[in-house]
Structures are given as structure tokens and as C-alpha cells.
Structure 1
Amino acid sequence: MARTAIAVQPVNQTGVAPTYTAADSANGMSFTNDGRTVLHVKNGEASPITVTIVSVPCSHGRTGDISVTIANGAEKIIGVFDKALFNQSGADAGKVFVNFSASASVTVAAFKF
């Protein structure tokens, strides 16, 4: 399945005019991660949603996905993401996978600090 890309927006001294993308719960999403990137998720749904950041096995083979519940009408900033624990390998090397339980009125943006 091809994941929908989230463009990473750099934040610097002059700031950033944020751009949000519609969440894709059918295919999942991904963004390039350098260990200094956070996600900002806005939930416009009538119900809470769950955002899952997919982990990779650590050097000991353990995994630990991050699951964050966002109430209806709320928003959260999630991250930063350790490259060793969340960056995928192979064809998706350097990307973090993000899954959404619903996405009809959900938007997301990635910011690099």
C-alpha cells in the first residue's frame, strides 16, 4: 500500500505559515524524519480518533508503537521521534509511518525544528 506523504515544514527564526494535509486513514501516511520533527494533528471529527506512530524493532527486538487519542474538536502535537525507534528501513528508509483510526475531518502537518 502506498502511504500518503506528509510534507515536512521547517520552522526557523522567521516562523512558518503552516500548511495542513487531510489525513488518510485508508492508506496511512508517512514523513521523512531526522529526529527533530513533530506532528500536529487537528481532529474535526464528531468522535475521538487514535493516531498511531509505528515503531521498528530496537537493537533488542522490542517494539513500542505510540498511540495517541485526540478528543473530538481537539488537537495535539506529537513527537519528536527517535530515528532508531521509528524510522523505517528498505524502500521507506528514513520515514516514519502514521496511521489514523478515522480521517474524514482530520488534518495533519509535520514541523522540523
Structure 2
Amino acid sequence: MAILSAQRLPLGGLQPTFAAAAGGGDQSPCGEKLFLLVRNGDATSKTVTVATPGTVGDLPVADAEQTIPASGSAMFPLKAVFRDPTTGRAAITYSAVTSVTVAVVQLP
């Protein structure tokens, strides 16, 4: 499991640096103005899940999940609702990591 760092988006724009998705999942900072970019460079689709550790009453809140098609991409807002109370970070998992790269970007 890797801990991803946020890249600040300057007003002049950003070409984000992507990292290989970790087989055991990744952790990311979360909060306002943060989002996760995921690129799938593989020939098969991949599912990305951002865990939602909270509950409403006694009911668990569903995790955020996107199936990314072959050669596709997706974005996830990394709001505070994804913050794990133990680590303080969002937990991200992947159905497979072949040719999957990720970046965390913070808006100005």
C-alpha cells in the first residue's frame, strides 16, 4: 500500500505526475479541493473503489466505485467523508493494477 501525495494545481495549469497503482491499494489525503485521477492503460476494464468508513444511523454508507473501461480514466472527489478515522486518509483499492496509474490533485 502506497501513500499518495497531493499535487497543487497552480493557476497556470499542471501536468500531474502519475504513480503506478499499488496492488494492496493506496492511501490518499482527503478534504476540500482534493481529487483523485485514475488512468487505465490496460486492454480490460478495472474497478476502483474509495472506501466510505462512515455510517448514517446504523446503516453503512456505500463506497464510491467506478468501473474504468480499457484506455479510460475517471476522477473521484476526495471529500472528508472518505477519511478513515484511524489513518486520517482515504483508502483506495483496485480490482487489478496492471497499467493503472493514479494522481492526487489539489485545486487552488
TM-score, length basis structure 2 = 0.89
Instruction: Give the unaligned 5+ runs of structure 1.
Output: none
Matched length = 106
SS of 1:34's equivalent in the other structure is coil
Instruction: Give the unaligned 5+ runs of structure 2.
Output: none
Quote how far apart the aligned CAs of 1:57 are: 1.6
RMSD between superposed Cα atoms in Å: 1.4
| Structure 1 residues 24-78: Cα deviation after superposition (integer angstroms, max 9, x where no partner) | 1x21101111222111111011100000000012352422101100000111122
- Percent identity between the aligned chains? 25
- CA distance in structure 2 between the aligned counterparts of 1:106 and 1:27, rounded to whole angstroms: 13
- Aligned residue for 1:58? 55
- Aligned residue for 1:78? 76
- CA distance in structure 2 between the aligned counterparts of 1:52 and 1:97, rounded to whole angstroms: 8
- Aligned residue for 2:93? 99
| Maintained 8 Å contact 2:20/2:102 | yes
Q: Which ranges of 4 or more aligned residues in structure 1 deviate by more than 4 Å?
A: none
- Aligned residue for 1:15? 13
- Aligned residue for 1:112? 106
Quote how far apart the aligned CAs of 1:106 are: 0.7
TM-score, length basis structure 1 = 0.86
- CA distance in structure 1 between the aligned counterparts of 2:51 and 2:9, rounded to whole angstroms: 24
1:99 partner amino acid: T
1:101 partner amino acid: S
